[in-house]
Structure 1
Amino acid sequence: MNFGIIGTNFISDWFVNAGRRCEGFYVQAVYSRTMEKGRTFADKHGIPDCYDSLEALASADNVDAVYIASPTACHAAQSIQMLNAGKHVLCEKPVASNEKELRAMLAAAKEHGVVFMEAMKLVINPAFDAIMENLPKLGKIRRVTFQMCQYSSRYDKFKNGIIENAFRPELSNGSLMDIGVYCVHPMVKILGKPDRVMASCVKLHNGVDGMGTILASYDEQGAQAELIYSKITDSPVPSQIQGEDGTMYMESLPILTKVWIRYRDKSREDISFELKDPGNNMNYEIAEFMRIAEANESAETHNQYSVWEMQVMDEARRQMGIVFPADKV
């Protein structure tokens, strides 16, 4: 499958390196707003074609699929443009600014008979497969706690007056969108859409959320979920899934490094899994996306989790008073 890439940041570097571990993967083209940046990225990775026009990329006959790694505020328009041109689209997380945008993206994919999928590496890999396979050992699930608190390398610049994209709410960015999504998505994959959420955040001087907490309730299941995320503090505390018979611990979202269960009798079971490259596990989401597209299958199951993700995040932002320009369209 021949890919085009929109965006030339470090995530795109990871994508190329991970994709080259997938059979049939090839990067044909890259798009950047400036030809100079595009050429630099293309030369670095040996990519034949370079564009500074989205229209030219969309019309390229030798590109089958497009990976989108631009700022979140650009995801919907760029995805829809590529989908309308008959390209499959793998869009980096968070998939959109809000549910309305995502619905439009999914509608475009359906209309043109192509695959659209969110690049959610956390839940498409052997480590998360092992989590799902071992959940029954915990008994009835009562509490899920996902935590990702990672002090951003860009925060020091922010404090010095240099505001990069990750801290710009006008680009649909912030702590919830950047890393909180890694807490929301596995929650809805494990428990489904919650009955209600309560959300609170800490805002920085430009209105961007630096950290936040979401409490989700599942009435029929008799379960709760706690989501704790931050770009302005750091924490090594593992995430956990508490059941009546035991608790599963998970280290290091979004690239899981260790999973184990502690049962009520205090015995421990380590959960084994193998990752081809523990430092970059994007190859699994790429392989799944390619499999679905080449088999002419539907990505509906993956997309349902993305819809629930957006619904939870939209409601959380409403409660926290976080409004993006995309919400006003």
Structure 2
Amino acid sequence: MKLGIIGTSEISRLFVQGAVETGCYEPYAVYSRKAETGEEYASHYHIRHVFTKLEDLANCPELDVIYIASPNSLHFPQAKLCLSAGKHVIVEKPGMATSAQLEELFEIAEKNHVYLLEAIRPIYNPDLAVLKEAVAKIAPVHYVYLNYMKYSSKYDAYKAGKNPPVFSPEYDGGALADLGIYNLYLCVALFGAPKSSKCFASLLDSGVDGVSTQILEYDGFNAVLTSSKISVSRSPSEIQGENGTVTLEGPTSLDAIRLYTRDGGETLLSTQRRSSMYFQQKALARIITERDAAAYEQACDRMRCCIGLLEQGRRQAGIRFSAT
């Protein structure tokens, strides 16, 4: 598939590297507001075309799929433009700010016979199946703690009075949207949609959250999901069951999954594989090229659930974002 790219950030570079490794994509065109930035990016991946007008990228007839890695609040209008032009879209997490935006895009995608997919690595990681098997062994589950707390490289700039997108309500920044979304997706992948959800946050002066805690209620247990852009956690994520405990280092790459049995046994279950980006890009390409309607419907249902929980959490915690 010929791939168009919106955004030249580090996550965009990692996505394209993984896409090239799969052999399923040909990076063909990139959009950047500044021609020199786009040309520098294109030189790394032998990309043929650099566009400085978004409409030109969306309407490029050779493109099959467009990957969107712009600031969060731009996902909706950019995806709408590309879907309306008849292009499949892969959008970085979080896909959208609100459920209403998401449903509008699904309608446009259906009308134009294309797919809208979200790049969310743990869902397509083969070790997710390993984690599910481990959780089944310790069942019934009684408590879940998932955390992704990482000091942002942009936080010092924010404290110095600058306005990096990740800490700006204009761009739908904050810990919950940037990191907490991984916790949400992993929890929903393991246990399904919760009965209820409540979110609390420590807000920065900008109006976005530096730290957030979301509590999901399930039958028989609660899941506590924490995220931070202004501090670092040294604690692993943990799933406690009646017959043991499962830990992992993080919700993105599912590193260092360990099973602790109730009698004191310990087993490292993670395997050495290719990068989680590789598996994500491979899976997304397969869904699109094979027109796997069942897998696409499952992906859409996950997006509906998790974007809904994200939107609800922001409102409950008073986190400012552009769609409000």
Q: CA deviation at 1:93?
A: 0.3
2:128 equivalent to 1:135 = no
**Structure 1: tracts of 5 or more residues without a match:** none
Aligned partners of 2:284 and 2:310: how far apart in 1? 24
More deviation, 193-202/85-94: 193-202
Q: CA deviation at 1:106?
A: 1.5
Structure 2 counterpart SS, 1:20? helix
- What's the TM-score once normalised by structure 2's chain length? 0.96
**Equivalent residue for 2:307?**
310
Q: CA deviation at 1:121?
A: 0.6
Q: CA deviation at 1:29?
A: 0.3
Task: Say whether the 8 Å CA contact 1:91–1:119 is kept in structure 2.
Answer: yes
**Which letter does structure 2 place at the counterpart of 1:315?**
Q
Quote the RMSD (CA, aligned, Å): 1.3
Structure 2 counterpart SS, 1:109? helix
**Structure 2: tracts of 5 or more residues without a match:** none
Aligned pair in 2 of structure 1 residues 274, 129: CA closer, same or farther (>3 Å)?
farther
Aligned-pair identity in percent equals 33
**Equivalent residue for 1:294?**
289
Q: 254, 257, 261: which one pairs with 2:255?
A: 257
Aligned partners of 2:220 and 2:273: how far apart in 1? 34
**Equivalent residue for 2:280?**
285
**Equivalent residue for 1:211?**
211
Q: 255, 260, 265: which one pairs with 1:267?
A: 265
Aligned partners of 2:10 and 2:270: how far apart in 1? 29
| Number of aligned positions between the proteins | 322
**Equivalent residue for 2:322?**
325
**Equivalent residue for 1:230?**
228
Q: CA deviation at 1:269?
A: 2.1
Output one character per residue of 1:39-59: Cα deviation in whole Å (capped at 9) or x when no partner. 121122211111111211111
**Equivalent residue for 1:95?**
95
Structure 2 counterpart SS, 1:226? strand
**Which letter does structure 2 place at the counterpart of 1:283?**
Y
Output one character per residue of 1:123-163: Cα deviation in whole Å (capped at 9) or x when no partner. 21122221123322112122221101101111111111122
Aligned partners of 2:257 and 2:166: how far apart in 1? 29
Output one character per residue of 1:305-325: Cα deviation in whole Å (capped at 9) or x when no partner. 111111111111111112322
**Equivalent residue for 1:59?**
59
- What's the TM-score once normalised by structure 1's chain length? 0.94
**Which letter does structure 1 place at the counterpart of 2:29?**
A
Structure 2 counterpart SS, 1:290? helix
Structure 1 counterpart SS, 2:257? strand
Structure 2 counterpart SS, 1:274? coil
2:86 equivalent to 1:86 = yes
